[in-house]
Chain A
Amino acid sequence: NAGVTQTPKFQVLKTGQSMTLQCAQDMNHEYMSWYRQDPGMGLRLIHYSVGAGITDQGEVPNGYNVSRSTTEDFPLRLLSAAPSQTSVYFCASRRGDYSNQPQHFGDGTRLSIL
């Protein structure tokens, strides 16, 4: 029962490099989202998707791109990494209907930008 799987768990980048954080879920959930969490703070929403082919911006979308070509996968791309993007990134998924189902989170990717 994998749930939400994030890779990699840790990553160090240099300023200006690009990379993709992977997120996959095996629960056939329509809704997926990406959050970042900075030290001592709650999670902030970056982007979300209500289904394959549909994405939208959250609270802090600048510097990040997403796409949703399949129900299972929702990768997050850093276009040109900056030190301000040093953070822990969490991916989450849930059923995308009106049933108010809980959200399932991955274990996070810890990203450092030098």
Chain B
Amino acid sequence: DAKTTQPNSMESNEEEPVHLPCNHSTISGTDYIHWYRQLPSQGPEYVIHGLTSNVNNRMASLAIAEDRKSSTLILHRATLRDAAVYYCILRYTGTASKLTFGTGTRLQVTL
């Protein structure tokens, strides 16, 4: 399985944008880039996913490098409720494809 590399932790001020990076230099052509987050004492929550083009939804934006070896999750205005561990995961398309979690990036948001 292709692996991802994320910083262990990041900090942000409330109401400022946050850019969470992820490196995946061994990504294959069939791997989708998924982002999940885990708030304290909760199960992981889906954030966004993409293949080649940048993606936007109500929670965040996903910017994917042209060579697909890296991506960035963008929270446009961080709030205290966005403090969580963010996981960048590669997943191929298929009925049995699995999510393989790393240790993620712990995002702290301060006033």
Contacts and interface: CB of A to CB of B under 8 A. Distances in A.
Chain B interface mostly:
loop
A112 B103 CA distance: 22
A113 B92 CA distance: 36
A33 B42 contact: no
A48 B98 contact: yes
Contacts of A100: 32, 49, 91, 93
Given A45-B98, A48-B98, A100-B49, A105 B103 contact: no
A42 B42 contact: no
15 contacts: A31-B96, A40-B103, A41-B103, A42-B87, A56-B96, A90-B44, A92-B43, A96-B95, A98-B94, A100-B93, A102-B49, A103-B44, A106-B43, A108-B42, A108-B43
Interface of A: 4, 30-31, 33, 35, 40-45, 48, 50, 56, 58-59, 90, 92, 96-100, 102-108
